[in-house]
């Protein structure tokens, strides 16, 4: 009886792992197709493909990447406000750490496009804090400094630039 239960547990475990890998593969393929559509200039098609992927394959790496890509497409389409809303919702859902920096960076760009300088600078600063490599940390601080400067907050801009000079 114990051997049968052990074999059954192993089969069920294998099935769960295999179906998870298969789901991730389908999601990655779907993401590649949506990106190809976007690169070819079919932005409405890319947007709908990305939204479907996000819903269908929720929780996969490809779905997280699709959220970032969808909001890039929105920004290319001149929908910075919509991108900002989508990125704020995404960040509120507490995504895995590796997606924080690109999401905050893109949010900063969307807010900067909407001339919301202080919020943009804050998003860039959070992108810098979440970045894993020094050059990205520095790049996002340059962006934060620019946004602070645009918003007339020269003290904060100078502080961001000083941090870059001292640390990077």
Decide: helix, strand or coil at residue 3: helix
pTM for the whole structure? 0.82
Determine the pLDDT at residue 22.
Answer: 82
Note the pLDDT of residue 140.
Answer: 97
DSSP 8-state class, residue 153: -
pLDDT for res 92: 97
DSSP letter (8 states) at residue 152: T
pLDDT digits (tens, 9 = 90+) for 120-135: 999 999 999 999 999 9
Give whole-number Cα distances, 49 to 63, 81, 85, 126, 131, in Å.
11, 21, 19, 29, 28
- The answer to whether the CB of 63 falls within 8 A of the CB of 27 is yes
**Which carries the bigger pLDDT value, residue 17 or residue 64?**
64
CB 130, CB 104: distance < 8 Å? yes
- Write the pLDDT tens digit of every residue in 47-95: 999 999 999 999 899 999 999 999 999 999 899 999 999 999 999 999 9
The predicted structure's pLDDT at residue 20: 67
User: How far apart, in whole angstroms, are the C-alpha atoms of residue 103 and residue 57?
Assistant: 19
Q: Three-state SS string across 14-25, please?
A: HHHHHHHHHHHH
Identify the DSSP state of 41: T
pLDDT for res 24: 84
Q: What string of DSSP letters covers 78-130?
A: T-HHHHHHHHHHHHHT---GGGHHHHHHHHHHHHHHTT-HHHHHHHHHHHHHH
**Would you say residue 45 has pLDDT above 70?**
yes
Sign of the four-CA dihedral 40, 110, 147, 160: negative
């Amino acid at each position: 009886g114990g051997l049968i239960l052990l074999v059954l547990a192993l089969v069920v475990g294998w099935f769960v792992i295999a179906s998870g890998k298969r789901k991730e593969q389908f999601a990655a393929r779907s993401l590649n197709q949506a990106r190809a559509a976007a690169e070819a200039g079919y932005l409405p098609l890319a947007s709908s493909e990305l939204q479907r992927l996000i819903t269908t394959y929720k929780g996969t790496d490809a779905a997280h990447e699709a959220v970032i890509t969808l909001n890039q497409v929105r920004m290319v389409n001149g929908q910075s406000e919509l991108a900002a809303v989508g990125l704020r919702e995404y960040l509120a859902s507490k995504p895995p750490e590796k997606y924080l920096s690109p999401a905050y960076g893109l949010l900063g760009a969307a807010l900067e496009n909407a001339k919301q300088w202080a919020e943009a600078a804050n998003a860039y600063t959070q992108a810098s804090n979440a970045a894993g490599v020094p050059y990205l940390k520095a790049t996002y601080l340059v962006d934060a400094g620019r946004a602070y400067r645009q918003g007339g907050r020269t003290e904060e801009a100078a502080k961001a630039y000083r941090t870059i000079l001292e640390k990077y």
